Amino acid sequence: MLVHKLTAPQCREVLARTRLGRLACARSNQPYVVPISVYFDPDENVLYGFSTLGQKIRWMRENPLVCVEVEEIVSRHDWTTVVAFGRYVEIPRGTLGASFRRRAYELFAKQSEWWLPGAANLAAGERPAAAVVYRIRLSRLTGRRVVR
């Protein structure tokens, strides 16, 4: 079994195919990892995301340096993973963020039920907070592929 490094274009291809990733952020020397839906915009080299207000949004507001890991796993001996490093940028409501929001919703609409789980009814009966749409401006990509 050999581990191959992916080129930046190969990493971008994986990001374009993938809809589920894991977001890592940190606050006060404490890391936090959570699954998210990801939407890659190759023209802008950004990932778009959507969430209700919660821990990850509060932490990213405080420390905008994040990374997102995506993977394609066929088996233990056949997998690809990409880690995208970048900076969280919240898209404001109103005219200032209108073009970014429009692009985000274009990407979101390519997947059915794109608002799930971010806007699903909470099991504890809590009312969901207002939606937060954000971009992660990518600064670096790394990737590995293992094939037997």
Does the model's pTM come out above 0.95?
A: no
Residue by residue, DSSP assigns the chain as -EEEEPPHHHHHHHHHH--EEEEEEEETTEEEEEEEE-EEETTTTEEEEEEESSHHHHHHHH--EEEEEEEEEEETTEEEEEEEEEEEEEPPSSGGGHHHHHHHHHHHTTSTTTTTTTTSPPTT-PPPPPEEEEEEEEEEEEEEEEE-
Written as tens digits, the pLDDT of the chain (148 aa) is: 899 999 999 999 999 999 999 999 999 999 999 999 999 999 999 999 989 889 999 999 999 999 999 999 999 999 999 999 999 999 998 888 999 999 999 998 888 766 666 655 555 555 556 789 999 999 999 999 998 8
- 2-147: what CATH class? mainly beta
Domain ranges of the chain: 2-147
